[in-house]
Amino acid sequence: MRHLPALVALAALPLAAAPARAERGSWRFHDDTRPIKAVVVGGSVTAWPKGNFGSFIEAACPRVEVALKGKERLGSAALRDRFVEQVVKNPYVKAKDHEALWLIFQSGLNSIASPEQTNYDAAAVYRIAHEHGLEVLALTVGPWGATSDKRRWAWANALAYKHYTQLAVDFVLGRLTPAEAFGKLAKGRDSADWLPAERPDIAVDLYDSPLRDKDAPLQDEATAARQVAIHKAVKAELKGLDEAARAARLAALTAQVREMPRWFMKKELHSFDHIHPNMEGHRLMAETICPKLPAAWRCDCKAIAGMSWNPKGGGLIPKVELGDAGAPAAPAATAPAK
C-alpha cells in the first residue's frame, strides 16, 4: 500500500455539481461505410464542440465512426449513469451490429477530490461496458492547474490536488492494486489482482503527455519552503518526526511545490481556463491517443498534424479516406460536417 500523505485531509473543492438524472439516449450511428464504432463519454473536456479529439481521431481513422457523448459538469457517478443511459440502454447502439464497438472513456476531474470513489465508478463503467460487448479505451485526465487557482493550486495547497490527480491517473494506467485504488471501497479484497473486466483494453496517459508544461520555470525556492513549513496539513504530517526526518520531508515537499507548474497544461493550449484544452490541445490529445489505437482502425496518425477546424463547414479538413488496398490514401480536400 503506498503512503497516503496527511495533506489529503485538505478540504475538497468540487469542480462541478452533477445533475440529478441522466438522460436516456435514442441516437444512432449513421455512417454505414465505417464498420467500427466508438462512443466518447466523459466530462466537459470530452464535450468540447469544435475540433474535439474524437473528431480528429475519426478524421484520421477511416474505418471508425465516433459519436461524441461527453457532457459538462458530471462527476464519476453521473458519468457512470450517463454511459448506461446513453449507450447500454440505447436500443439503437448494440455491439452485435458492428465489427467492434468501443467506449472511449475519460473520468475523474469533476470528482478528483474523491479519487477512490472516482476510480471505483470508472471500474464499474469498464465492467459494464465489457459485459455488454464493448471494448474500452480509457483516458487519464489531462494536466491541469494554475497558481492563480489559490484554493487548489497555490503553494502547499497544490500538494493535495496533485496527490488526488495522480491517484486517479495511476488507477487508469494500472499502477495500483484494488486496495490502493479504491481505499475503503475495496471492501476487504484480499487479492492484489484485478478482475479482467475491471481493466480497460487500452489505457492512454494524457496527464504526462505533450500537453504538460514540463519546462515551466520552477517556483521560488525560499517562498515554497516558507509556505510548506507554515501549512497546517504539513505541520500535522510532520508531528512526531525526529529532526532529520522532518528536514528531509520538508525538503521533499518543497521540491514538489517548486515543480508543480510543470504538471500544469501549457498556457498556449488553454481555452477559457487551465482545465479545458483549446483545439490545439485536442489535436495533441488525438496525436497522443492515435498510436495506441487498434490496427483494425487503419489510422493515419501523421495526418492529424495537418488537420484544422473549418468554422464555416463545422468539420475538420482534410479527412483521410480508404485507398484501393484498404490503407489510408491521400487526404480528401474537405471533411463533411457532422
Are the C-beta atoms of residues 329 and 322 closer than 8 Å to each other?
yes
Q: How far apart are CA 57 and CA 92, in angstroms?
A: 23
DSSP one-letter code for 22: P
* Weakly modelled stretches of the chain, pLDDT under 50: 1, 3-6, 8-14, 17-18, 321-338
- Closest among 16, 8, 66 to 36, alpha carbons compared: 66
- Say what the pLDDT of residue 1 is: 39
Are the C-beta atoms of residues 79 and 43 closer than 8 Å to each other?
yes
Q: What is the CATH number of domain 14-213+264-317?
A: 3.40.50.1110
Q: How far apart are CA 245 and CA 57, in angstroms?
A: 49
Give the CB-side neighbour count of residue 55, counting CA atoms within 13 A: 26
Amino acid at 264: F
Are the C-beta atoms of residues 25 and 69 closer than 8 Å to each other?
yes
Terminal C-alpha separation, the chain: 47
The residue written with cell numbers 468539420 in the block is 315
Domain edges within the chain: 14-213+264-317
Cell readout for 22 is 441522466
Are the C-beta atoms of residues 110 and 82 closer than 8 Å to each other?
no
Q: How far apart are CA 58 and CA 286, in angstroms?
A: 10
Amino acid at 150: K
- Say what the pLDDT of residue 15 is: 54
Q: What does each C-alpha distance from 285 to 45, 46, 107, 273, 292 come to in angstroms?
A: 11, 11, 15, 17, 12
Are the C-beta atoms of residues 156 and 237 closer than 8 Å to each other?
no
Q: How far apart are CA 5 and CA 239, in angstroms?
A: 13
Radius of gyration of the chain (CA): 21
- Say what the pLDDT of residue 33 is: 97
Q: Could you tell me the maximum CA-CA distance found in the chain, to the nearest angstrom?
A: 72
Determine the 3-state secondary structure of 162 from DSSP: helix
